[in-house]
Amino acid sequence: MCGIMGFSGHEAQNSVEIVLGGLKSLEYRGYDSSGIAYFDLKGGKIKSVKKSGKLVNLSNEVNGNGKVKSDTAIGHIRWATHGKPTDINAHPHLDCSGKIAIVHNGIIENHVSLKNALAKKGHRFVTETDSEVIAHLIEDFIREKKTFYEAVRLTSLRLEGAFAILALSADEKSVAAVKFGPPLVIALKNGNFYAASDVSPLIEHTQDVIYLKNSEIAYFQGGKLSVGTFSGRKVSRAPVRIDWDSSRAAKSGFSHFMQKEIFEQPSCLLDTFSSRVSAGGRKGGLKVSLEGIKLTGDDISGASRIVFVACGSSYYASLASKYVLEKICGLPSVVEYGSEFRYENFPVLKSDIFVGVSQSGETADTNSALELARSEKAKVVSITNVPGSQITALSNRGVIYTHAGPEIGVASTKAFTTQLLCGVLLSLYIREKSGFIPEGGLNLEELFKDLVDLPKKAEEILFMDDAIKEIAKKYYKSANFLYLGRGILYPIALEGALKLKEISYIHAEGYPAGEMKHGPIALIDENMPVLFLLSKNMLSSKTISNMEEIKARGGKIIAVADYEPEIEGISDLIRIPETEGILSPVLYTIPLQLFAYHIAALKGTDIDQPRNLAKSVTVE
Ligand code: F6R
């Protein structure tokens, strides 16, 4: 939700090019308007250009008069919260003197009172945004003869809400980067300073980055970087090495990032489990080691339940993990929406183990729920794809990284399937520590074999791409879809329906197959395609009865199954490889991603940047 990027070069003059390039990598975070501010080397002033619409509008405008030379620039890509996505409301925002420019990701909750107070002192506001107050507040402190750094620090103390800010001072020729809530990553390489909302724009310049912590300010002037806290204490922050290479953030011949990311899944799945699972545990079969997870045997034996907290696709991954956990650990678990949790009087127990699941690690709803759980002394573990993201700081019992690499397509694909796998790994870890023996046992040797085969089976499904595209051609004009599954496949039905909604704008709903007869069956007629997920070993006869109910009412049936179901009248069957039940959600997800992708491509929607969405939702 909004992305910011800044560059200040020691002797460079291509800051505008670098920042525009960086915003391109951040475009998934917001894409309704964008802007850039840079030092004009001739006049010593700040120039700013802002455009509504996609980033290309800004790039055309900036480059319209030839290459701009400047050593320092900050830029912003917006997903509007306060004020429409117009040119004027786009960031950067300047103060009255035009000597200070800011870009902001987040929300300033007390902007109205700040704005009223500043307006009384003569500050002129020109936008409808909450962010503009930041520039004027910094200016106000400078009028009181504070240095730019001090003015930024004092401003940070006055702001309420969530903010990652980059600020430029024309007088001091310096840049400040402020973090409180949304992420901000900085780097220093060869005397050049970089700052961005995430690492994707930085990795082509350097792999050594510093994740600013909350209440920290980085200040860069004359080739020198310093970091301090809002309270004025200097801190020393060592860089961490990111092993994502820049080619992983490029489309590499695919038509869309989403398509590329769907096809990356076999290797991502391998990265997720390969260094963590090995053959031959205590009782033979399989051993899981989750580096960084600090849940003790006592934490686990003392817990009466596991509480998952997540939003969107991550919520559905959590629902699937609940099935796994209950099946193999016998530990009850609940799954809560991050967006509801804080307002529903959920009784947090000290003994609870919370698992926050978030691809971005930045989702405000999920993180606020985890903060609440922590304040009640619960144990918190998280599953995320982004090192150093905010959720990692909230996880007092450690983090499981999904290792999916950068996910640029706004609709989650590889992050989702790797979350599913991390749910299995966490469950195995808990099972091992608790010594629980599930009813009917758990054949760890078989499970290990299936785990090792999982990437290959995912690959086999990707080979069905053309066949799935042909099926999509039959249905892309439908106005509604139903996705049905039972047990652990129900969350995957939800995820399949969400994918279709997000990128094709077709209305789709996921339901437990057995719930159809309790109402939704009224929707069925010959215009309603119904996509069933079914597995030979999971209540298949009951699901087949549900198919009969649809057939009897003229609905068209598409089936994704790991066997040939004994029922006539399936219009289209996508036959996928068999695997162990707790791993099956991973395989069932992939055809649904391809189906949604092809339907969206046939409809010609903006697949990587669907309307109204943003990759990470850092506001509540
Ligand atoms: C769906 C999707 C969203 C996210 C949700 C939570 O494709 O991407 O539903 O899953 O906004 O985001 P994270 O996982 O970053 O917390």
Complete DSSP assignment for 447-460: HHHHHHHHHHHHHH
The pLDDT, as a whole number, for residue 575 is: 97
Distance 361 CA to ligand 1 centre (A): 10
pLDDT higher than threshold 90 for residue 617: no
Residue bearing tokens 């892309």: 476
The neighbour count for residue 291, using CB atoms within 10 Å, is 10
pLDDT higher than threshold 80 for residue 10: no
- Answer whether 360 contacts ligand 1 (Cβ < 6 A): yes
- Answer whether 616 contacts ligand 1 (Cβ < 6 A): yes
Q: How far is CA 458 from the centre of its chain?
A: 22
The pLDDT, as a whole number, for residue 246 is: 63
Q: How far is CA 401 from the centre of its chain?
A: 13
What does the radius of gyration of the chain's CA atoms come to, in whole angstroms?
A: 26
Distance 357 CA to ligand 1 centre (A): 9
The pLDDT, as a whole number, for residue 40 is: 84
Q: Of 198, 241, 240, 201, whose CA–CA distance to 618 is shortest?
A: 198
**The CA-based dihedral angle spanning residues 90, 96, 102, 106, taken in that order and rounded to the nearest 10 degrees:** -70
- Answer whether 311 contacts ligand 1 (Cβ < 6 A): yes
Distance 146 CA to ligand 1 centre (A): 42
Q: Which of 360, 384, 410, 499 to mutate to test the pocket of ligand 1 (most atoms within 8 A of CB)?
A: 360
The pLDDT, as a whole number, for residue 209 is: 92
Q: Is 593 exposed, middle or buried (0-12, 13-18, 19+ CB in 10 A)?
A: buried
Q: What is the DSSP string of 106-173?
A: EEETTHHHHHHHHHHTTPPP-SS-STHHHHHHHHHHHHTT--HHHHHHHHHHH--EEEEEEEEETTTT
**What atom of ligand 1 comes closest to residue 310's alpha carbon?**
16
Distance 313 CA to ligand 1 centre (A): 5
Domains defined for the chain, CATH in brackets: 3-242 (3.60.20.10), 257-462 (3.40.50.10490), 465-603 (3.40.50.10490)
Distance 337 CA to ligand 1 centre (A): 12
Atom 5 of ligand 1: nearest residue by CA position = 312
Atom 9 of ligand 1: nearest residue by CA position = 312
pLDDT higher than threshold 80 for residue 1: no
Q: Which of 29, 256, 321, 359 to mutate to test the pocket of ligand 1 (most atoms within 8 A of CB)?
A: 359
Is residue 512 reached through a cis peptide bond, with omega within 30 degrees of 0 on the bond before it? no
- Answer whether 312 contacts ligand 1 (Cβ < 6 A): yes
Half-sphere exposure of 536 (CA within 13 A, CB side): 10
Q: Which of 79, 258, 363 to mutate to test the pocket of ligand 1 (most atoms within 8 A of CB)?
A: 363
**Tens of pLDDT along 34-89?**
999 999 877 678 999 999 998 999 999 988 777 788 999 999 998 877 788 899 99
Label residue 526 by pLDDT band (50, 70, 90).
Answer: confident
- Answer whether 402 contacts ligand 1 (Cβ < 6 A): no
Distance 233 CA to ligand 1 centre (A): 36
What is d(CA 152, CA 150) in angstroms, rounded to the nearest whole number? 5
**What atom of ligand 1 comes closest to residue 616's alpha carbon?**
15
What is d(CA 89, CA 83) in angstroms, rounded to the nearest whole number? 6
pLDDT higher than threshold 80 for residue 252: no
- Answer whether 363 contacts ligand 1 (Cβ < 6 A): yes
Q: How far is CA 167 from the centre of its chain?
A: 26
What is d(CA 456, CA 120) in angstroms, rounded to the nearest whole number? 66
User: Contacts for 149-156 with beta carbons within 8 Å, 24 or more apart?
Assistant: 149/174, 149/176, 149/217, 149/219, 149/228, 152/176, 152/178, 152/217, 152/219, 153/217, 153/228, 153/230, 153/232, 156/180, 156/215, 156/217, 156/230
> Which three-class secondary structure state does DSSP give residue 518?
helix
What is d(CA 313, CA 325) in angstroms, rounded to the nearest whole number? 18
Distance 510 CA to ligand 1 centre (A): 17
What is d(CA 75, CA 64) in angstroms, rounded to the nearest whole number? 17
The pLDDT, as a whole number, for residue 82 is: 79
pLDDT above 90 covers what percent of the chain? 69
Distance 619 CA to ligand 1 centre (A): 13
Element (H, E) at 7: strand 3-8
Q: Of 392, 79, 440, whose CA–CA distance to 211 is shortest?
A: 392
**Tens of pLDDT along 349-359?**
999 999 999 99
Predicted TM-score (pTM) of this structure = 0.79
Atom 11 of ligand 1: nearest residue by CA position = 312
- Answer whether 339 contacts ligand 1 (Cβ < 6 A): no
Distance 563 CA to ligand 1 centre (A): 31
Distance 315 CA to ligand 1 centre (A): 8
Atom 3 of ligand 1: nearest residue by CA position = 312
pLDDT higher than threshold 60 for residue 281: no
What is d(CA 39, CA 17) in angstroms, rounded to the nearest whole number? 13
> 51, 287, 322, 615: which one is catalytic?
615
- Answer whether 309 contacts ligand 1 (Cβ < 6 A): no
DSSP 67: P
> Which three-class secondary structure state does DSSP give residue 335?
strand
**Tens of pLDDT along 168-192?**
999 999 999 999 988 899 999 999 9
Which is more confident, 435 or 294? Answer: 294
- Cross-strand bridge partners of residue 533: 560
pLDDT higher than threshold 80 for residue 248: no
Instruction: Taking each helix axis as running N to C, give the angle between helix 584-603 and helix 414-434, from 0 to 180 degrees, rounded to the nearest 10.
Output: 170
Atom 13 of ligand 1: nearest residue by CA position = 358
Active site residue 294: no
- Answer whether 593 contacts ligand 1 (Cβ < 6 A): no
Q: Nearest 5 degrees, angle CA 220-CA 225-CA 226? A: 105
Atom 16 of ligand 1: nearest residue by CA position = 358
Whether 91 contacts 100, CB under 8 Å? no
> 2, 311, 329, 422: which one is catalytic?
2
Q: Of 311, 214, 250, whose CA–CA distance to 616 is shortest?
A: 311
Instruction: State both tokens at 611.
Output: 């309307």
**What atom of ligand 1 comes closest to residue 419's alpha carbon?**
14
The pLDDT, as a whole number, for residue 595 is: 98
What is d(CA 33, CA 79) in angstroms, rounded to the nearest whole number? 7
**Tens of pLDDT along 536-577?**
988 888 888 888 888 888 889 999 999 998 888 888 999 999
Label residue 26 by pLDDT band (50, 70, 90).
Answer: confident
Position 467, amino acid: A
What is d(CA 167, CA 184) in angstroms, rounded to the nearest whole number? 13
> Which three-class secondary structure state does DSSP give residue 308?
strand
pLDDT higher than threshold 80 for residue 405: yes
Which is more confident, 309 or 345? Answer: 309
Q: Of 444, 327, 428, 426, whose CA–CA distance to 381 is shortest?
A: 426
- Answer whether 412 contacts ligand 1 (Cβ < 6 A): yes
Distance 413 CA to ligand 1 centre (A): 10
- Answer whether 369 contacts ligand 1 (Cβ < 6 A): no
User: Average pLDDT, whole number, for the chain?
Assistant: 91
Active site residue 120: no
Mean pLDDT of 232-258: 81
What is d(CA 362, CA 164) in angstroms, rounded to the nearest whole number? 12
pLDDT higher than threshold 90 for residue 152: yes
Phi/psi for 586 (5° steps) reads -60, -45
Mean pLDDT of 505-531: 91
The pLDDT, as a whole number, for residue 15 is: 93
What is d(CA 137, CA 139) in angstroms, rounded to the nearest whole number? 5
**Tens of pLDDT along 436-490?**
777 777 788 889 999 999 999 999 999 999 999 999 999 999 999 999 999 999 9
Mean pLDDT of 295-301: 93
Mean pLDDT of 383-409: 91
What is d(CA 31, CA 3) in angstroms, rounded to the nearest whole number? 9
The pLDDT, as a whole number, for residue 139 is: 97
Label residue 619 by pLDDT band (50, 70, 90).
Answer: low
**What atom of ligand 1 comes closest to residue 412's alpha carbon?**
7
Q: Is 304 exposed, middle or buried (0-12, 13-18, 19+ CB in 10 A)?
A: exposed
Residue bearing tokens 């785990």: 451
